[in-house]
Amino acid sequence: MTNIVQNGFEKSGLKKSGKAATVIIGAGFGDEGKGLLTDFHAAGFGKDVVVVRFNGGAQAGHTVVTPDGRRHVHSHFGSGTLTGAATFLSRHFVSNPLLFRREAIELEKMGVGLPAIFADERGPVTTPYDMLINQWAENSRGSGKHGSCGVGFGETIERCLDERFVIRISDLADQDGLRTTIDRIRQKWVAARLTKLNVPKLSGEQKELLFADKLRDEFIDAATELYARIRVARPGILKSSNVVFEGAQGLLLDEDYGWFPHVTRSSTGLKNAVEVAAEAGIKRLDCVYVTRGYATRHGAGHFPHELPNKPYAAIEDATNVPNPHQDNLRFGWLDLDLLSSTIDADFELYSATPGIEINRRLAVTCLDQLDASAFFMIGNKLCETSVDDFAAFTAQHTNIAEVYAGHGQTRETVTKITL
């Protein structure tokens, strides 16, 4: 049924002569293994590669484990960082200076020399006040929570719709101007936004935190540090390098065709990647849609074929730990009909983009966590096949000719299969 033509990242089929661009997109509710696939493809290029964060923000935690056992959850630094890859934060990526600082410290403690980080000056910037609004609003919803991560991503998008309160990467160069905008946000935006979200009156402790100059000044220090570390650039710099576009969240959380209101304020599919590629002059995109061998969702909202417990005993997830905003990671059977229609819906929107050839591939991760058989849904029926055949079977069902099978946490466990 299948022909295994490449095995391991060193034989991934990526040509180091000539430039290529790969797009990694989650095909579910997030947490599909995008960090693993980004690391895999970046490693195939050596250091001649830039990882582009083309949507989302610091709420996207992508785990990479290297063959020598190092582990890091990437949020600002692209998931090729441990291979030495540079990162480009596109104008669709929301930067969070406080969390950027924390991640930089974590990497430095690991002994990682930080590669170059480029950022589009048009990119929005999260403040601690977006984070507070996010957390206070989510806590007030009780059983009606939206499933937010609580780091202010969506609130940043909302605030930046009003020019009076916009903060972008370019604004971080001016501390005095930044302080003025921050004070305007604290005094005018926060109260109006909390009222619109029906958040109860703030407690004395919450008001004290909101108007604490220490929090404002810490943010400005972190913002200044972020601006000093990055190189401001536009997508044109990508044309001379191999590129891996690293998506955040998944297609079923897309702001346009996810199940509202439990979605992200972001285009999670090809839309932003195609836009950045067009601006950069990139002519071909190989798009890899990623899924685990089972379904997961971390946060509230509709979840087809949800199970009360883990579907396989060997499942382990050290990244998606329970938290007050998203609660526990949820599990279900993978619906191959839903997977196929979801991928088709995204791909068909952009496959005929003028001037850019777009191809699609599939990746199925966490196969090592399955039992002797893989279970999945087709036509609302529970089906079964061998784990060895599952990745290829899934690719056939989604009408995709190439699939990456992930049998572990590290890039060396990824196998490319051509049907």
Active site residues: 31, 62
**CB 89 within 8 Å of CB 117:** yes
Residue whose C-alpha is closest to residue 164's, from 147, 187, 189, 145: 189
Tokens of 124: 């929005």
Tokens 């969240």 found at: 249
Sign of CA dihedral 148, 194, 124, 187: negative
Type of residue found at 220: I
In DSSP terms, which residues pair with 365 in a beta bridge? 292
Question: What's the rounded Cα separation, in Å, for the pair 386 and 371?
Answer: 9
β 242-250/117-119 pair status: unpaired
Query: What is the per-residue DSSP string for 102-148?
Result: HHHHHHHHTTPPP--EEE-TT-BB--HHHHHHHHHHHHHTGGG----
What is the Cβ-side half-sphere exposure of residue 143, based on CA atoms within 13 angstroms?
0
Q: 3-state SS of 359-383?
A: EEEEEEECHHHCCCEEEEEECCEEE
Residue 247 has phi, psi (to 5 degrees) of: -80, 165
Amino acid at 136: W
Reading the block at residue 105, the tokens are 């410290």
- CA-to-CA distance for 367 and 292, rounded, in angstroms? 8
Write out the two tokens for 295.
Answer: 């379904």
| Region of residue 366 (phi > 0: left; psi between -120 and 50: alpha; otherwise: beta) | left
Block residue for tokens 């609580």: 150
The single residue listed with the structure tokens 């990647």 is 273
